[in-house]
């Protein structure tokens, strides 16, 4: 049985470290990207099973990355969770319309992330 993979896309090293600890604890093999361009380069060679995506990042923001990743061959397969401080309903709707499977408000903890991953079918409930 292969190990599920997760790519954490966030310009904050601290957020990546916290998210990595949570997701590894759920049995995922984790890689990290500091911006959307780095994440897109990663996804063109190997699509992860799950993506945790920040909205506001330098170089390429999370929304632009998500739209471009979804256009890749097989890009409809990964479960994509936006993890952002952006709380306005229209922004959440925009992320979901761009292809996000769900939305997690920062700051998040292990219980919240595990619950959201279970909701989108990325882990057993």
Pairing label, strands 5-9, 102-105: unpaired
Question: Would you write out the chain's pLDDT as a tens digit for each of its 125 residues?
Answer: 467 999 999 999 999 999 999 999 999 999 999 999 999 999 999 999 999 999 999 999 999 999 999 999 999 999 999 998 888 899 899 999 999 999 999 888 999 999 999 999 998 76
User: What is the model's pLDDT at position 2?
Assistant: 65
Residue 56, preceding peptide bond in cis (omega within 30° of 0) = no
Report the pLDDT value the prediction gives residue 96, as an integer from 0 to 100.
94
**Residues 105, 91 contacting (CB under 8 angstroms):** no
| 41 Cα distance to chain centroid | 15
Report how far residue 93's alpha carbon sits from residue 7's, in angstroms, rounded to the nearest whole number.
Answer: 22
How far apart are the C-alpha atoms of 125 and 119, rounded to whole Å? 8
**DSSP annotation of 57:** -
């Amino acid at each position: 049985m292969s190990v599920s993979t997760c790519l954490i896309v966030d310009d904050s090293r601290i957020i990546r470290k916290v998210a990595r600890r949570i997701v590894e604890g759920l049995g995922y093999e984790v890689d990290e990207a500091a911006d959307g361009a780095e994440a897109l380069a990663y996804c063109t060679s190997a699509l992860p099973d799950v993506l945790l995506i920040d909205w506001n990042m330098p170089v390429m923001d999370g929304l632009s990355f998500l739209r471009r990743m979804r256009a890749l061959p097989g890009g409809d397969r990964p479960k994509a969770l936006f993890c952002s401080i952006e709380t306005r309903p229209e922004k959440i709707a925009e992320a979901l319309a761009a292809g996000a499977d769900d939305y997690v408000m920062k700051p998040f903890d292990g219980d919240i992330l595990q619950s959201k991953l279970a909701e989108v079918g990325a882990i057993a409930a």
